[in-house]
Structure 1
């Protein structure tokens, strides 16, 4: 059973939820072998109707204390471009498609997605190009995101504040 997980974090991104829950998108996901789609819709006003059939299940929720379980079980993560959501998915080694919200002003999220794509860690698109990307992407080309090294940051900070030379 292959599972796709969509997250918008604590925000609302109704356009993404509408797009991914649309019949055409569900058909594409089915054709790619996914039989379950879990939508974390945040504060959005678009609330797709959950359903379950022999071949496909759609689950919907707003918030959970932790997305850890959904991320762990996902074979594909489709996310808004929030730094926390992106890095959490990548650190878990999950294939990631980031969908840019074009309605945000001064879109720093686009810069993050563009850089992580350039480094080969994720694919990115907009709602209008999501379906095409899903059909054309090759997840095997993605590179693993290197784990964080908090000890390096700690040593750097110690130097900056004069605790270490």
Structure 2
């Protein structure tokens, strides 16, 4: 909860991972339709982990945004965090007096698992520049099972809107991606499965 008299903060955290550059995702975050979609959805902060090669792009776009007053969002960024991204993802989850936000991530399995563990709504954007790219298959499979929103570089506003639906579905019980057998048996069935009493 935000301190009295101060409006609540809401964070969109974007990560490109630690190994490959993904400058096109960094650039897509500064497109006006996406900035407008964030503002319309009540976001106050945009935090971008832009990687070693994305600093120049980030600096150019943030200067342009500030000079042209294109958004009221607080935009910050960093290249790499040796301690991991758990604190940033928790902030997007809504810890520390913030409303629940969203994480936008490349389709790297480590970043995806970190966000899924926290239960923060996750938009997965595959990097089309990678060779032997299995990121699309991973994003599609996880989206089909209801774990993430499969986003694309050219339509982040739509993915952001779909993340709100994902947020609502994640709060349902039993989880929508738990399978028909769990839904049919209710809480008792889930408890039996957790305890190892399977049919």
TM-score normalized with structure 2 length? 0.66
Asked whether 1:47 is paired with 2:58, we answer yes
Give the Cα–Cα distance (whole angstroms) in 2 for the partners of residues 44 and 144 of structure 1: 39
Partner of 1:93: 119
Give the Cα–Cα distance (whole angstroms) in 2 for the partners of residues 145 and 57 of structure 1: 34
Partner of 1:61: 78
Give the Cα–Cα distance (whole angstroms) in 2 for the partners of residues 22 and 109 of structure 1: 23
Give the Cα–Cα distance (whole angstroms) in 2 for the partners of residues 144 and 87 of structure 1: 18
Give the Cα–Cα distance (whole angstroms) in 2 for the partners of residues 130 and 15 of structure 1: 12
1:7 to 11, 15, 29: 15
Give the Cα–Cα distance (whole angstroms) in 1 for the partners of residues 176 and 72 of structure 2: 31
Q: String of CA shifts for 1:89-133, please: whole Å, max 9, x gaps.
A: 111111000011122222211111111111100001220122232
1:115 to 124, 141, 147: 141
Partner of 1:16: 25
Aligned residue pair count: 146
Asked whether 1:73 is paired with 2:91, we answer yes
Secondary structure, aligned partner of 2:112: helix
Which residues of 2 match residues 143-158 of structure 1 at below 5 A?
Answer: none
Q: String of CA shifts for 1:66-93, please: whole Å, max 9, x gaps.
A: 2111010002000000110111111111
Q: How well do the aligned residues superpose, as a CA RMSD in angstroms?
A: 2.4
The structure with the largest strand share of the pair is 1
1:145 CA drift (Å): 8.2
Q: String of CA shifts for 1:2-52, please: whole Å, max 9, x gaps.
A: 111000011210100000122221111010110100000012332242788
**Cα distance 1:144–1:20, how it changes in 2: closer, same or farther (>3 A)?**
farther
1:144 CA drift (Å): 8.2
Structure 1's unaligned 5+ residue stretches are: 147-165
